[in-house]
Amino acid sequence: MQSTRQRILDHLEQRGPASPKQLAQAFGMSPANLRRHLSILQARGLVQAIALRPLAGRGRPEQVFTLTITAQPEGLENLTHALLRQLGDSPRAAQVRQLAANLVSTDNLPTGPARRLVTAMQRLTPLGYKPHWEARPQGPEVVLGRCPYANLVAEHPALCRMDKEVLEQLLGQPVEQVSKLQPGPDGQPQCIFITKN
């Protein structure tokens, strides 16, 4: 079942710009609840207010929302599926390692585990992740929030192996995935890795 926010994105894609009131009516939601979802989508850069529509009668004009360029489909998901299918059902470890190396630069990595953790988070952010790390008694825990491949992982589990490989290359030490696409504090799926000393 699609999330409410995904349904809002689909509605805007298929029917064009709409006001919060129109969207609330379309989904049978309260305007306040709908505005909360729009606010989250706006913060993620997926929707934007493009105009103010005057209301009939008194009151403030109503905003009209549309998809941003980054939220508009470009066929990348289909292309990604096709490219991953070329690797086969079970890509070799060397292929996954090379895919990870092509994805993220390991040039000029600092020395020291803490500095490498900070640098790793900085290098993962432009790739679409919402990464952070947390100190734990047994060692650092790396949380990859907002997985950019969440829609592909069921069909292509090698992407999780690629995430593991990316982290190992950036951190310079082995990691183990202990959680896969589980809801985090914000309700969004996240993956958790622990460093293995």
- In the CATH scheme, what architecture does the domain 4-71 have? Orthogonal Bundle (1.10)
Could you tell me the pTM of the whole model?
0.60
How long is the chain?
197
Domain spans of the chain? 4-71, 76-195
Q: What is the pLDDT of residues 156-188, one digit of tens each?
A: 788 888 899 889 999 988 999 998 888 777 667
Q: What mean pLDDT comes out for the span 127-148?
A: 85
Of the candidate ranges 60-69, 72-81, 105-114, 157-166, the one whose mean pLDDT is the lowest: 72-81
Pick the CATH number of 76-195 from 3.30.1360, 3.30.70, 3.30.1380, 2.60.98: 3.30.1380
CA distance 179 to 191: 5
Question: Which tens digit of pLDDT belongs to each residue from 138-164?
Answer: 888 999 987 777 777 777 788 888 899
DSSP H helices in the chain = 4-15, 20-27, 31-43, 76-87, 93-103, 113-124, 158-171
**pLDDT tens-digit series, residues 1-52:** 457 888 888 888 888 888 888 899 999 999 888 888 898 888 888 888 886 7
Q: Distance between CA atoms of 128 and 135, rounded to whole angstroms?
A: 23
